[in-house]
Amino acid sequence: MTIELYCFGESGNAYKAALALELSGLDWTALKVDFFGGETRSQAYRAEVNEMGEAPVLIDGDVKLSQSGVIQAYVTEKSGKFGGATPEEAREVMRWVFWDNHKLSSQAGMTRFLMNFLPEDKRPAEVIGFMQGRLKAAYAVLDAHLKGRDWIVGDSVTNADISCCGYLFYPEPFGFDRAAWPEINRWLTNIEGLPGWKHPYDLMPGSPSDRA
């Protein structure tokens, strides 16, 4: 049975789920969510897809899951990949997924939205500046951790990498200059070199150009 993923190209959280599925080799298909058209805020979406009004959502037969970290964990259950080679590594993977969700992706997603998807006259400069400061601190943590490492945990790609890279391939400005962080840059190059890797706008339906 083909796994279905409700997603859209502009979502870094959806990218984490889609990239895990793509790299795992599992059979899956993308179902486009019209986020900017208000689909996730509709009564139908909340009643039939996700009461939280969010994407991504994975459907696999009777299994329905939301939240990217949970979906990544399910991909690991199904494929045996990305979970860490030992119980110690598995806990470390989880630690970095939680860190990313709280310290990196949540900040990057909000800042990117405020800077690119709001009308120019409604972009709160003080909030954006504050968020970029928090992001800079997160980049520093990740860059320092990656020194001397190819991957965040262990000797191969895990959900820690797939989670932490979720927003870092997007071209829209949000306060991330890849060239300014040499260890992160090298690590992102490693991810781009994985068989099956795709940019979020190539992996999932929907991009800003669709609304241009």
d(CA 19, CA 166): 9
Q: Is the pLDDT of residue 39 over 80?
A: yes
Cα angle 69, 72, 75 (rounded to 5 degrees) comes to 155
Distance set, CA 75 to CA 91, 119, 197 (Å):
16, 37, 16
pLDDT (tens digit per residue) in 20-34: 999 999 999 999 999
Helix (H, G, I), strand (E, B) or coil at 173: coil
Fold of 3-82+198-211: Glutaredoxin (3.40.30)
Q: Are 8 and 210 in contact (CB under 8 A)?
A: no
CATH code for the domain defined by 87-192: 1.20.1050.10
User: For the chain, which residues make up each domain, given as ranges?
Assistant: 3-82+198-211, 87-192
* Mean of pLDDT values over 114-143: 97
Q: Is the pLDDT of residue 212 over 70?
A: no
**What global pTM score does this model have?**
0.97
pLDDT (tens digit per residue) in 92-113: 999 999 999 999 999 999 999 9
The length of the chain is: 212
Q: Is the pLDDT of residue 174 over 80?
A: yes
d(CA 3, CA 63): 10
Which pair of structure tokens corresponds to residue 45?
A: 């979406």
Q: Is the pLDDT of residue 154 over 80?
A: yes
Q: Is the pLDDT of residue 115 over 80?
A: yes
